[in-house]
Structure 1
Amino acid sequence: MTIDLRGITSKPAFHELVKRELGFPEWYAVGWASWDAFWDCIVAVVQMPPQLTFTNWQEFEQTCPKDMGILRQVMHDYEEYKPGYHMNLA
């Protein structure tokens, strides 16, 4: 599965996009965006695809470097937590 981050320039926009694309529950990212809730959803709430690729992530990294750093760490931790499942940047 591929999620295109083109035009995503804020943390709330990122969380709304992944909510829609990955089928997160309705309560996710309502009025706020939490990396803890993102983690909970990808490891315990939704059925994740074996391969998830984020494309066109550079603008998000430029406008939200702290959040991009958190996303990179989540991606690393996710692969250790769920062997056989992968997230990457392309």
Structure 2
Amino acid sequence: MTLDLTGITSKVAIHQLFKEKLGFEGWYGPSWDAFWDSIVAIVEMPEQLTLTNWDEFAQHCPRDMEILRQVLHDYNAEMAPKRIILA
């Protein structure tokens, strides 16, 4: 599965995209802790999730991009062979 992050320039927008495309629960909000809980224990993630065109998000939200990179690193280590990659 591929998610295109073109036009995503805020933390709220990226979390809304994740909620819609990955089928997160209705209570899900713009929180990296909720994102982690959702991807490891609540929804069935695809074998590989590819995030494309993430540069704009990284430029507008550098701190959140740093957190996202750490979450992806941890997810890939803990949930192998499933993985989330930036392309």
TM-score (norm 2): 0.98
Alpha-carbon distance in structure 2 between the residues aligned to 1:57 and 1:86: 17
How far apart, in 2, do the equivalents of 1:66 and 1:85 lie?
A: 25
1:20-35 correspondence runs (5 A): 20-29=20-29, 33-35=30-32
SS class of match (1:88): strand
Which runs of 5 or more structure 1 residues have no equivalent in the other structure?
none
TM-score, normalised via structure 1 length: 0.95
State the partner residue of 2:85: 88
Shift of 1:79: 0.9
Alignment root-mean-square deviation, CA: 0.5
Aligned-pair identity in percent equals 62
Tell me the equivalent position of 2:71: 74
Number of corresponding residues? 87
How many angstroms apart in 2 are the aligned matches of 1:10 and 1:79?
24
